Structure 1
Amino acid sequence: MLKFANPEFLWGLLIVPLFVLLFLAVTRWKKKAVGALGDKKVVEMMIPQVSFSRPWLKFILFIAAWSMLIVGAADPQIGSKMEEEKKKGADLMILLDVSNSMLSQDMAPNRLENAKRAIAQLIDNLHNDRIGIVVFAGEAYVQLPVTTDYSAAKLFLNTINTGMVPTQGTAIGAAIDMGMKSFDFKDGTGKAMIIITDGENHEDDAVAAAKHAAEKDVMVNVIGMGSEKGAPIPIFQNGKQVGFHTDSAGTTVVSKLNEDMCKEITAAGQGVYVRATDANAGLNIVMGQIAKVQRKTYDSKSFKNFEDRFQFFLAVAFILLVVEFFISNRKSLRLSGLNLFEVKKT
């Protein structure tokens, strides 16, 4: 496996086309300048020591040296083999509500963005624990299977929006069932769920699902997003807000946090319920509860023994620069006087 320790240096390769364009422009200018002096063959006879081909050779060597230098600075590394590493942790499944009501702005900037920001902070604080993400509205989908790849988790998190689940609603029970199916119960690691929702428009038996999860030693926790006062649900078109959702009578719909339902779920799931605020999503309290989950050892495969290869590229760059430096733009007098194809007259 190949990777770069400093991939940002590879942007330096984008300068190569600029060098080429600049060199071609200068070469064209010189060609016009020589042409202005008279016939090309006559001019070459007037300046026999000037080489018109060596600048090309020097430029090619310079470009090759620059490229080698940039790649060397990026520090290419090769993973020599795949190894299994023993890690001790737990499995954590995030169940994130992406229904339209999560766009309500009683939390800045809205409930969903606040939740995503909290999950990102949670990922930053994980050590060896595996994490997965399930998104749900009227239906539930696995957004990210259980993994220790925290970078991938953040990447998937950034793509989450309310349009990714076509069916509206709040099927918390379906999300819990989907999370249970995503767990591997054969490895024996401790498992827990964090449901992040406003609990509104609840349409299935989430309490029964949470109770079933608890029977399998899966702790179900809930973070409530929103306020009891609530807020209207905005409508967006082409990225701009154009109004608010209304009911059949034309009255603006106000989405409120359903705390009673959230508490019932956590009671059945043997977890904790926390209501989020703009300043604190309540993750500290929930993670304190999850810390009680038993950690067990599991195998994680990854490339090990990455070896640096920058030395080779820097050495080649140095050699090319030295060669380029000692190549003169003038012809060698000794070689120029040598004519291998001259026919001597007898």
Structure 2
Amino acid sequence: MIWDNPKILLALLALPFMALFLVFEWRGRKKSCDLYASPSFFEKLTSRRQRAGIFSRICVILAYAFLIPALAGPRWGIVSRKVEEKSSSVMIAMDVSASMFCEDIKPTRFKASIAKIKYLLSLLGAERFGIVGFAGKAFTICPLTSDISSVRMLLDEISVGEISYPGTNIAEALSKAAESFAGYANSRAIILLTDGENLQGDPSKIVKNLSGIKVFIIGVGTPEGEPIPVKDETGKVTGYKKDENGETVISRRDETLLLQIANSTEGRYYPFDEANRDIEQIAEAVNSMDKDFMGDSFSSSMEKKYYIPLAAALFFMLADFLLPFITLKKTFLDNLPPVVLFLIFIAAPPASRAESIGLSLGDSIEISRGNKAFKNKDFFKAETYYRKVLKKKASPDIYYNLGNTYYFMQKNDDADKNYKKAETFRNPKLEEDLFYNMANNCYRKGDMDGAISFYRGVLSKDPVSSDALHNLELALRKKSEKKGSEKKDNEENKKDGSMSKDDMQRALNLLDDMEKKSTKKQEKQKMPAVKKDW
């Protein structure tokens, strides 16, 4: 016999002390009763028989004596079981380009991504994992393996700038990860961690070849972005990366591309979440996929027998509970009135929500009427009821309901005012729905920047909100189309005018520079020449 938790058995040392205490307690009580009346007369005065107390104390001691071994977890008898080994195939595509040095995600984008991958390995320990690192090119760092310790060891060896080809090529990373799934048909997933700034390749062409492979993406970084630091060999920042015009490069998270890739592969896109809700949702999605059969294995172990002493402990606990009723001289009907009163007490309804926020009964009735009118789409009547209550007491819920009423009445400015008043209360339970409706109101007004900001606010509360993600993609697309149309208008306006003397002189100077550069001999380059190397 072995024990799962043998240290718990030390609690049995208290058993003799417990027995002595109950014996002395019983004798002391009996001696006190004998001072006032004989045992036969005292028994007539009470509703319980004296022997019931002895049996009750014995039941307590025996219940304790069996409960402790049950908690210790006894095992005996060898049991062999046939186990089918099934697992998923997960390739992790890790961005190791220079932009992952940015510190808008602490400590850096790269280190925060490594921490997320390690957390994922702890959640999906029974799966097969592989790692692809990519910058301007993609390389397989670790092929698919079920040896999690090796994967962890290789993760610790990866560093930013390890791949000497500059830039960011998401398309090649997806293609390289897909090549690793040869021989696996069902459960295939790619987890892509990147800031989304694709500088080489066309991911839209590669996505068409990812049939049956789901791509889950974590957008690392922030929409505001940060300059890309340049570090020396000691890791000290010596400056910031410049573009060909000598201006400091700001690396931002490109959500538009990442959303397109995720939607095209039936995967999901998640903004970076410090609470790791993004990784937990990905783990649930991978667990729900069909697993690949890997073979049969046999495992032998000693069978758990905790239920035997536990059953004995429960028997004596039940006996101790029932003894007072069995030895009771009164009938069940004598105890019925207090039982009925107890049931009425626990069934009493709690205070209403209107009372909990300080509203009177009349105000709660007005709110109820307003809610009913809102459901019946009688928005003018709902507005009247909500305004009556607001004259007496301000509440974020009522401002929120009034904002929704104005939204359906097409009064977008009034809706915006009431939503902002509800926001001032900083009610955490209401913020997610409030931000979502504020975003929809901004979208209707044509304020794409406001809509994008509030949709991101929803995602900060719930990173897996599918409605917010979908609407965010629409807002980003609408904003980019608006910018494109403005740029086209500007170009058409430029075409209407003729070339000035200054413009002609600049063009001639540019042609002279091009002729001078073409005459120079070019040295052979080991790396591909790219304008954007981050």
State TM-score, norm by structure 2: 0.39
Which one has more relative contact order, counting CA pairs under 8 Å at least 6 apart?
A: 1
- Deviation at residue 300 of structure 1 after TM alignment: 8.7
Q: Does 1:225 align with 2:214?
A: no
Question: What's 2:269 paired with?
Answer: 273
Helix, strand or coil for the counterpart of 2:215?
A: strand
Question: What's 1:206 paired with?
Answer: 203
Is the CA contact 1:223–1:281 (under 8 Å) kept in the aligned structure 2? no
Which residues in structure 2 correspond to 1:249-268 (within 5 Å)? 249-268=245-264
Helix, strand or coil for the counterpart of 2:230?
A: strand
Q: Does 1:197 align with 2:194?
A: yes
User: Of the candidates 86, 110, 113, which is equivalent to residue 112 of structure 1?
Assistant: 110
Helix, strand or coil for the counterpart of 2:208?
A: helix
- Deviation at residue 188 of structure 1 after TM alignment: 3.5
Q: Does 1:282 align with 2:278?
A: yes
- Deviation at residue 164 of structure 1 after TM alignment: 1.5
Question: What's 2:178 paired with?
Answer: 180
Structure with higher helix content = 2
Helix, strand or coil for the counterpart of 1:163?
A: coil
Change (3 A) 1:93 1:102: same
Helix, strand or coil for the counterpart of 1:195?
A: strand
Helix, strand or coil for the counterpart of 2:260?
A: helix
Q: Please give the alpha-carbon distance, in whole angstroms, between the structure 1 residues aligned to 2:297 and 2:174.
A: 28
- Deviation at residue 301 of structure 1 after TM alignment: 9.5
Overall identity of the aligned pairs, in %? 30
The code of the aligned residue for 1:226 comes to: G
Q: Does 1:153 align with 2:151?
A: yes
Give per-residue Cα distances to partners, 1:306-332, cap 9 Å, x unaligned.
xxxxxxxxxxxxxxxxxxxxxxxxxxx
Is the CA contact 2:85–2:297 (under 8 Å) kept in the aligned structure 1? no
Change (3 A) 1:86 1:249: same
- Deviation at residue 107 of structure 1 after TM alignment: 0.2
User: Of the candidates 292, 295, 303, which is equivalent to residue 296 of structure 1?
Assistant: 292
Change (3 A) 1:233 1:279: farther
Change (3 A) 1:188 1:98: same
Helix, strand or coil for the counterpart of 2:131?
A: strand
Q: Please give the alpha-carbon distance, in whole angstroms, between the structure 1 residues aligned to 2:131 and 2:218.
A: 15
Question: What's 2:230 paired with?
Answer: 235
Helix, strand or coil for the counterpart of 1:166?
A: coil
Change (3 A) 1:249 1:300: farther
Is the CA contact 1:115–1:281 (under 8 Å) kept in the aligned structure 2? no
Is the CA contact 1:222–1:274 (under 8 Å) kept in the aligned structure 2? yes
Which residues in structure 2 correspond to 1:1-346 (within 5 Å)? 86-185=84-183, 187-213=184-210, 215=211, 217-237=212-232, 238-280=234-276, 282-299=278-295
Q: Please give the alpha-carbon distance, in whole angstroms, between the structure 1 residues aligned to 2:284 and 2:83.
A: 26
Q: Please give the alpha-carbon distance, in whole angstroms, between the structure 1 residues aligned to 2:195 and 2:209.
A: 22
RMSD, matched Cα: 2.2
Change (3 A) 1:85 1:182: farther
The code of the aligned residue for 1:174 comes to: E
Give per-residue Cα distances to partners, 1:184-231, cap 9 Å, x unaligned.
33x434111111100113321212222321x2x111111100011000
- Deviation at residue 297 of structure 1 after TM alignment: 1.6
Helix, strand or coil for the counterpart of 1:282?
A: helix
Task: Give ranges in structure 2 of 5+ residues lacking alignment.
Answer: 1-81, 301-534
The code of the aligned residue for 2:265 comes to: G
Q: Please give the alpha-carbon distance, in whole angstroms, between the structure 1 residues aligned to 2:279 and 2:199.
A: 23
Is the CA contact 1:118–1:281 (under 8 Å) kept in the aligned structure 2? no
- Deviation at residue 248 of structure 1 after TM alignment: 2.7
Task: Give ranges in structure 1 of 5+ residues lacking alignment.
Answer: 1-83, 306-346
The code of the aligned residue for 1:192 comes to: A
Q: Please give the alpha-carbon distance, in whole angstroms, between the structure 2 residues aligned to 1:197 and 1:113.
A: 12
Which protein is bigger by CA-based radius of gyration? Answer: 2
- Deviation at residue 85 of structure 1 after TM alignment: 7.7
Q: Please give the alpha-carbon distance, in whole angstroms, between the structure 1 residues aligned to 2:135 and 2:146.
A: 26
Q: Please give the alpha-carbon distance, in whole angstroms, between the structure 2 residues aligned to 1:235 and 1:300.
A: 52
Give per-residue Cα distances to partners, 1:271-308, cap 9 Å, x unaligned.
00001033437212222222332113204999x99xxx
Is the CA contact 1:235–1:242 (under 8 Å) kept in the aligned structure 2? yes
- Deviation at residue 128 of structure 1 after TM alignment: 1.8
Change (3 A) 1:141 1:85: farther
Is the CA contact 1:244–1:252 (under 8 Å) kept in the aligned structure 2? yes
State TM-score, norm by structure 1: 0.59
Is the CA contact 1:87–1:128 (under 8 Å) kept in the aligned structure 2? no
